[in-house]
């Protein structure tokens, strides 16, 4: 389709600490034992969009992402990996690589998007409307794990995440208004002049801006060059284009003065009536094909720039890996209701156990679970609604529920892990209990003094982290200890 594709793959996102690191940037975080970036790449390949620029924040992260792409997609995609400074934002990242943008239309996709909506559908909508920007909107996904208690067995009420306030024309083709981020927490006020211009506006709070955009290159580069302070596509560039679109249409409400044309004078009353009629029908599908007065008073059709929307079907899956909670949610979904995205063949028990994995006596791996290559589990273990990565060593009498265990993890006998994320190469020794925790690059072994209360344990933990950062040793905390809602990570 002659689109140039830019994937904004991020870097070491602060919202995902301690899951991300220099060794594991955001783009390589595992979703169902595959890097999250692979989901976007395969959807683009499916839409025959194979010439890609992958933009990564930080030189080290870019090298890691580039090495993985070279091995996984050799001879399948033509990918250029570009490193940009950290914390430049999505608009800043595009500004930094603007000299590489040469096609008439640019498709910008977030590298943390997990979806089965074909990007080609968005590109086709953009071309059909000849828009300056087209954004993909999806139904807002629900958030939160199911109840993992063995006695309850019932799901907790899942709540839709709060996303954006979006204004659409009645045909649902054009974006007329958007309030994002912190604005949603405030009173939303829409100027009367905008409402007069559009006639009708449908306000939606159940849609997610999927951070997939098609831009007309000339307009995008003009905005990036003129608005040097713009850092975000979603929070800065997109609202600006929507406001500009409405300004050009509102300008029609300013009537030109009467002009002489030959021996005839323009009839201002008729012109006013014409403008009123146009404005009254401003919400029709022809909203962006507005009338304008020529210098001689005649009326002709003109096209203003259009900000369009492609709304995916409710049956489609769409989520972004923006936080630790969404990381857990997406892993849960891709081995559950959206398992068609995983790329694996699920067994009759609705799970995936690699042929090389070994299970001990009386060990059960329930539905919506995944056990990676070369992993070994001892006797009498139980796994429910969890992903276990490759080459893990798990002892006996271990319970893992609603959790993600990455690769090369060692878990000792009698551990209980619930609602937690265990990063690669972590070691948990005997009888550790984790609930709603994230553990990164740690060795859990020796008990802390039992006399310490929770506050002192926390301060002691920070002290040990500080000392280990100085001497470079492994991290040592409790075996037999219990942790709830903590983030345990080497500094």
pLDDT digits (tens, 9 = 90+) for 234-293: 999 999 998 887 665 544 444 343 343 444 333 434 444 444 444 444 444 444 444 344
* 8 Å CB contact between 220 and 148: no
Distance CA 160, CA 204 (A): 14
Strands annotated E in 368-464: 370-371, 376-377, 382-384, 387-388, 393-394, 399-401, 404-405, 410-411, 416-418, 421-422, 427-428, 433-435, 438-440, 443-445
Q: What is the pLDDT of residues 184-225, one digit of tens each?
A: 555 667 767 666 666 778 888 888 899 999 999 999 999 999
Please state the pTM of the whole predicted model.
0.79
At residue 453, the pLDDT reads: 55
Task: Give the chain's count of helices (H) and strands (E).
Answer: 10, 40
Task: Identify the segments of the chain with pLDDT beneath 70.
Answer: 1, 142-163, 181-188, 191, 193-198, 246-304, 441-479, 489-491
Write down the pLDDT at residue 267.
42
List residues bridging with 113 in a β-sheet.
Answer: 320
How much is the pLDDT for 294?
43
pLDDT at residue 329, as a whole number? 93
Closest CA to 147 of 348, 435, 485: 435
93-125 pLDDT, tens per residue? 999 999 999 999 999 999 999 999 999 999 999
Alpha-carbon separation of residue 173 from 77, 121, 137, 167, 306 (angstroms): 32, 14, 11, 11, 10
Alpha helical stretches, state H, 307-404: 324-334
Residues 6+ apart with CB under 8 A from 338: 116, 317
Please give the order of strands across the beta sheet that includes 352-353.
Answer: 352-353, 370-371, 387-388, 404-405, 421-422, 438-440, 487-489
At residue 90, the pLDDT reads 95
């Amino acid at each position: 389709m002659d689109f140039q594709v830019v994937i904004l793959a991020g870097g070491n996102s602060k919202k995902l600490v301690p899951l991300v690191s220099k060794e594991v940037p955001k783009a390589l975080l595992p979703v169902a034992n595959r890097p999250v970036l692979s989901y976007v790449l395969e959807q683009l390949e499916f839409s025959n969009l194979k010439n890609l620029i992958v933009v990564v924040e930080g030189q080290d992260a870019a090298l890691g992402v580039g090495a993985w792409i070279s091995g996984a997609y050799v001879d399948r995609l033509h990918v250029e990996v570009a490193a940009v400074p950290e914390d430049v934002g999505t608009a800043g990242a595009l500004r930094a690589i603007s000299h590489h943008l040469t096609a008439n239309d640019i498709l910008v996709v977030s590298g943390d998007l997990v979806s089965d909506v074909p990007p080609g559908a968005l590109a086709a909508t953009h071309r059909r409307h000849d828009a300056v920007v087209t954004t993909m909107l999806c139904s807002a996904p629900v958030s939160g794990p199911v109840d993992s208690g063995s006695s309850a067995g019932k799901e907790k009420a899942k709540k839709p995440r709060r996303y954006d306030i979006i204004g659409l024309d009645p045909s649902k083709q054009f974006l007329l208004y958007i309030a994002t981020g912190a604005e949603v927490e405030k009173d939303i006020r829409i100027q009367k002049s905008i409402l007069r211009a559009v006639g009708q506006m449908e306000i939606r709070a159940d849609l997610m801006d999927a951070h997939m955009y098609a831009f007309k290159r000339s307009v995008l580069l003009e905005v990036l060059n003129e608005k040097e302070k713009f850092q975000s596509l979603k929070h800065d560039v997109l609202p600006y284009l929507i406001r500009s679109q409405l300004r050009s249409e509102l300008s029609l409400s300013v009537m030109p003065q009467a002009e002489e044309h030959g021996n005839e004078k323009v009839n201002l009353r008729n012109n006013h009536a014409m403008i009123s009629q146009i404005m009254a029908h401003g919400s029709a599908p022809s909203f962006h094909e507005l009338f304008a007065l020529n210098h001689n008073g005649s009326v002709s059709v003109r096209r203003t720039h259009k900000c369009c929307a492609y709304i995916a079907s409710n049956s489609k899956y769409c989520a972004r890996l923006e936080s630790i909670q969404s990381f857990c949610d997406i892993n849960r979904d891709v081995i559950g209701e959206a398992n068609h995205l995983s790329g694996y063949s699920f067994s009759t028990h609705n799970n995936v156990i690699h042929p090389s994995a070994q299970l001990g006596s009386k060990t059960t791996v329930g539905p919506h679970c995944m056990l990676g290559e070369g992993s070994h589990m001892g006797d009498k273990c139980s796994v429910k609604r969890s992903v276990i990565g490759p080459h893990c060593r798990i002892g006996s009498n271990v319970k893992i529920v609603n959790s993600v265990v990455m690769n090369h993890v060692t878990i000792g006998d009698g551990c209980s892990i619930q609602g937690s994320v265990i990063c690669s190469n972590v070691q948990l020794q005997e009888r550790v209990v984790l609930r709603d925790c994230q553990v990164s690059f740690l060795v859990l072994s020796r008990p802390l003094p039992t006399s310490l209360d929770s506050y002192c344990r926390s301060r002691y933990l920070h002290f040990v982290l500080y000392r280990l950062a100085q001497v470079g040793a492994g991290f040592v905390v409790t075996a037999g200890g219990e942790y709830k809602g903590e983030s345990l990570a080497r500094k």
